[in-house]
Structure 1
Amino acid sequence: MADRYFSYEAMEEIQSGEHGSQVVFYKRTRLEDAGIRRFSEQDVRELLGLGAAAAAALLPARSWPSICRFSSGLRYERKRRKHYADYARAMAAVLRVDDDAIVEASFRSHLDVMARRRFGLALDHVAPRRNSPIDVSGSEQLRQALDRGRGAIVWASQFAFQTLAGKRALWEQGFKAIQISDPYHGFTSTRVGNLTHNPVLRRAEDRYLKGRIIFDRESGAAVTRKIVGLLDQGELILLTNNVHAGAMFLEMPIGARGHVSMPTAPLSIVARRATPFFSMAIVETEPFGRFEAAIRPISDGTSDGARSSAAKRDYARMAALALTARDHLFEHVRRAPEQYLVMGNLGRSMFGSPRGST
């Protein structure tokens, strides 16, 4: 299969009897460089939105929901034309939800969440004491894993509030994580935006991090070596579970007939080195009121490390790890689909054919 920018080649298929799912490992080859735009209209809208949110953050908290609701409704028809079809397809494929009224309401809530995400950044800058509290589960298991001295990886799912509140959740529990980041990490992928308002988000995040490692499309092997070195020092590595960079990925079913892709690099590290491996998801349970963050073990690094550590690429072990991470992700997508940043991506397969279900 190929699209405009990449071709996709299936390299290995693993059938999981325990999960009843087929995992396809594939290689992504770049056909054409999409390039990096210098500037876009979205940059202006994001700057204006951040400025307005910063001003509104000083107003009484009771006014915040209506302000974000108004903000999310701007240019609604355009947003709907661009994104609604993919969102509706994913809701049907993953969650079996195809009632138009329900899907429309969920999509509208998704836009509200995105407005509150931007507002949360402004709030953290101008009035951090008004940040919503975060209830965290699973921190003790992570702490016990780190106490063994071999480091740990937390693989964070792409929920809207993970970017800032997720890092704050770890920091407030006493964890000093090192984030692995894309050079254009932030609200925009243009050159101008990366010099203007992306640094605002990165500076906010850095208050809750021990450090940050920047990777690009060509530096995968070097970054992997850095990660391994830091794990040897007992550090906590924070990764976002996305497919923005890299060459090797896997795809597996999620929900009724949806599909999700994940990068293989973290899975390979864990399979070879028996590194403690955790998933993380954070959801907003009360707008401007409370978050819940769940840290769950994918592998505690104690049970089968000796068997896997010698294998260069243990596809079966990597598939098992990915399917456990998928199950954790599905639990939270089912709970709050409107808070998952890339919900629309779950409705299609890289290979155009169904491969089982969760």
Structure 2
Amino acid sequence: MRSEHNIQIVREWLVGWRPEIELLGAEHLDAAREQGRGAVLWIAHFAFNALAAKMVFAKAGFDVFHVSRPEHGFSKSRFGIRFLNPIRTGVELRHAAGRIVIDRANPAASMKEARRLLRQGKFASITAGAWEGELLVRARIGQSVIEFAGGAPRLARIAGAPLLPVFVVCDDSTGRIRVTVENPIDLDRGQDKAELIQSAAQDFADRHLAYLKASPHQWRDWGKLKAHQGTLIETEAGCLSSAF
């Protein structure tokens, strides 16, 4: 499963990839659009999220702009960034409404652009991880710990937009992909920025549990999960026995 997301991109680029995809929770997207503020989609880091989510959102008529790093794609090398990564971003843009590239020299600019789009009733998607952000927070998953960047909840709070968790899993027996948009994370519980982001991250982490138990092999962050003592948990089986 480690390379599954890249295989999907290459298949779509070469011959087209047309999996059966089901969208659950579209009512949360409809409600956000009706309120005129769009929504921030916090997408869990599973093997099928990269392309399937963009496909099904586009098919359902939702304009989703993906927030990503400059080196987003297959490689972080200069060669990869120049020649290989445009393959991935080009394929994704067949289905996404656009891409918001994080400018590390001026990170506020990308967030300003995201807020502008949200005010127009568009959607901004951010893949969960600890790659970017001025504030990284630790959240518990069972008896273990994972780090998340706080950009998604921070953007949602500043923009006054709902923060919607998104989980993408594939049924191993049928090959059908299910994209689930869950109900909004509560952004009113924190008294300050750090507390709000911590609370949102923990809520998001808690929602992982059902998907991890059902499709543990599809989560891409087992290697980043740590025990409370700081010991890296290396295998999926180890995570299942010690994390839950």
The answer to whether the superposition gives a TM-score over 0.5 is yes
Counterpart of 1:114 in 2: which secondary structure?
coil
- Distance in 2, Cα, partners of 1:157 & 1:205: 17
1:15-164 map, 5 Å: 113-128=1-16, 131-164=18-51
| 5+ long unaligned stretches in structure 2 | 232-242
Change (3 A) 1:116 1:203: same
1:246-285 map, 5 Å: 246-255=133-142, 257-285=143-171
Partner of 2:54: 167
What code does the residue aligned with 1:122 have?
V
Contact 1:159–1:341 (CA<8 Å) still a contact in 2?
A: yes
The structure that has the greater radius of gyration is 1
What code does the residue aligned with 1:249 have?
L
Contact 1:180–1:213 (CA<8 Å) still a contact in 2?
A: yes
Change (3 A) 1:193 1:288: farther
Q: CA deviation at 1:234?
A: 1.7
1:212-227 map, 5 Å: 212-227=99-114
Partner of 1:209: 96
Percent identical pairs in the alignment equals 25
Partner of 2:125: 238
Task: Map Cα deviations across residues 15-72 of structure 1 (whole Å, 9 max, x no partner).
Answer: xxxxxxxxxxxxxxxxxxxxxxxxxxxxxxxxxxxxxxxxxxxxxxxxxxxxxxxxxx
What code does the residue aligned with 2:199 have?
A
Task: Map Cα deviations across residues 76-98 of structure 1 (whole Å, 9 max, x no partner).
Answer: xxxxxxxxxxxxxxxxxxxxxxx
Contact 1:271–1:314 (CA<8 Å) still a contact in 2?
A: no
* Aligned-residue RMSD, C-alpha: 2.5
Partner of 1:85: none
What code does the residue aligned with 1:124 have?
E
Match of 2:201 among 322, 339, 348: 322
Q: CA deviation at 1:131?
A: 1.7
Contact 2:39–2:163 (CA<8 Å) still a contact in 1?
A: yes
- Distance in 2, Cα, partners of 1:223 & 1:287: 40
Q: CA deviation at 1:134?
A: 0.6
Partner of 1:347: 226
Partner of 2:234: none
What code does the residue aligned with 1:265 have?
G
Most deviating of 315-324 and 135-144: 315-324
Partner of 1:338: 217
| 5+ long unaligned stretches in structure 1 | 1-112
Change (3 A) 1:135 1:127: same
- Distance in 2, Cα, partners of 1:118 & 1:288: 21
Higher relative helix content:
1
What code does the residue aligned with 1:159 have?
F
TM-score normalized by the length of structure 2: 0.85
Counterpart of 1:253 in 2: which secondary structure?
strand
Contact 1:132–1:288 (CA<8 Å) still a contact in 2?
A: no
Q: CA deviation at 1:288?
A: 7.8
Counterpart of 2:23 in 1: which secondary structure?
strand
Question: For this pair of structures, how many residues does the alignment match?
Answer: 233
Q: CA deviation at 1:348?
A: 4.4
Change (3 A) 1:192 1:314: closer
Contact 2:140–2:206 (CA<8 Å) still a contact in 1?
A: no
Task: Map Cα deviations across residues 114-141 of structure 1 (whole Å, 9 max, x no partner).
Answer: 344333223212332x521111110122
Q: CA deviation at 1:272?
A: 4.4
What code does the residue aligned with 2:147 have?
S
Q: CA deviation at 1:229?
A: 2.1
Counterpart of 2:179 in 1: which secondary structure?
strand
Contact 1:298–1:324 (CA<8 Å) still a contact in 2?
A: no
Q: CA deviation at 1:204?
A: 0.7
Most deviating of 326-335 and 230-239: 326-335
What code does the residue aligned with 2:166 have?
M
TM-score normalized by the length of structure 1: 0.59
Partner of 1:76: none
Task: Map Cα deviations across residues 309-341 of structure 1 (whole Å, 9 max, x no partner).
Answer: xx7x34443333222211122322222221111
What code does the residue aligned with 2:196 have?
R
Change (3 A) 1:122 1:287: farther
Q: CA deviation at 1:289?
A: 2.6
Counterpart of 2:65 in 1: which secondary structure?
strand
